Structure 1
Amino acid sequence: MTKYLISFPSEAMIVPDDQMRAVSDASHAVVEEAKAAGVWVFGGGIDESVPPVLVDGDGTVAEGAHPRTRGLDGGWTVLEVPTREEALGWAARIAAACRCAQEVRAFLDDPAS
C-alpha cells in the first residue's frame, strides 16, 4: 500500500467564523471514518505561531525555512491506501469537509520506514 499526503495551504480555507465549528466537526468526522477504515496514519495542522528553523548537517540552527521552500502551513493528512483512486476519494471527502481543494501526493516507498 502507498502512503498519500493530502494537504491544503492556510489561505485556501476561507470559512466564515460562524461556520468554523461545522467545518471542524465535519473534518473530524472524516478523520474518524479514515481511522475506522484503517487507512489513517496521521494528520494535523501546522502551528503557524511557531516559526520554522533550519538545522544544517553540522547542527547549526538558523531561523527560517529552506530558501527554496515556499511557506508550509495549513492542514495535512497522511493516509495509507491501496490505490491512487482511493486516495483521491478520501481527498474529496476532506475537501468537502474543509470546504477547500486538497492537494494529493504519493510518498515513495521506503521499506525502512
Structure 2
Amino acid sequence: MSKYMLIMRGTDETNAALMASIDEAMAATGRFIEEMMKAGVLLAAEGLDDPGRGVVVDFSGEPPVVTDGPYGETRELFGGYFLLDVATKEEAVDWARRVPAVRGSKIEVRRVAEADEVPQSGESNGRI
C-alpha cells in the first residue's frame, strides 16, 4: 500500500461557485468521506481557511519576508486535501475522479514519499 494525497486546487471562480451551494457541497463531501472510510482508504481529510487569512514566507532574500494574504498573481489555490492509503496510483486517481468538486476545480494526485526515499547526505535516488 502507498499513501497518496488528493490535493484540492481551486480558483476564485470555483471557490465562489462552491460557496453558492455550500450546504449541498458539504453534504456531498460528507457522503464521499463516509464512502472512503467504509472502503478503509481514508487516512485524513482537511480543508484550509480562506487564503486572505494566511501569510506567505518568501525566502528570496535574507531575512525571509512575511506577506499577508491574499496573494497577488495566484491563479490556483490549495484548498484542502484527502490523504489515502491505496494499492496503486490508478486507485488514487479513481478516488480523485469521484471527489464531489465544482466544475473548473482540479485535483492533484501525488504519492507521499516514504522515509527511505528521501535522499540522505546529498545523495539522489531519483525517486522524488
Q: TM-score, with normalisation over the residues of structure 1?
A: 0.70
Match of 2:91 among 73, 80, 86: 86
**Whose relative contact order is higher, 1 or 2, with alpha carbons under 8 Å and at least 6 apart?**
1
Report SS of the residue matched to 1:108.
coil
For 2:24, the equivalent position in structure 1 comes to 22
> How many residue pairs align between the two structures?
101
1:49 positional shift? 5.2
Q: Which of 27, 35, 38 is the matching residue for 1:36?
A: 38
Q: How far, CA to CA, are the matches of 2:39 and 2:78 in structure 1?
A: 27
Asked if 2 retains the 8 angstrom alpha-carbon contact of 1:24 and 1:98, the reply is no
Q: Percent of aligned positions with the same letter in both sequences? A: 27
- Deviation >2 Å, runs of 4+: 12-16, 48-54, 60-65, 70-73
C-alpha distance in 2, partners of 1:106/1:87? 9
AA matched with 1:7? I
Letter in 2 for 1:15: L
Specify every segment of 5 or more residues in structure 1 that has no aligned partner in the other structure, as ranges. 55-59
CA distance in 1 between partners of 2:45 and 2:53 (Å): 18
Unaligned runs of 5+ in 2: 58-62, 69-73, 117-128
Does structure 2 conserve the Cα–Cα contact (< 8 Å) formed by 1:46 and 1:75? yes
Alignment deviations for residues 43-75 of structure 1 (CA, whole Å, 9 cap, x no partner): 111223542465xxxxx996359xxxx786312
CA–CA distance in structure 2, aligned partners of residues 106 and 37 of structure 1: 19
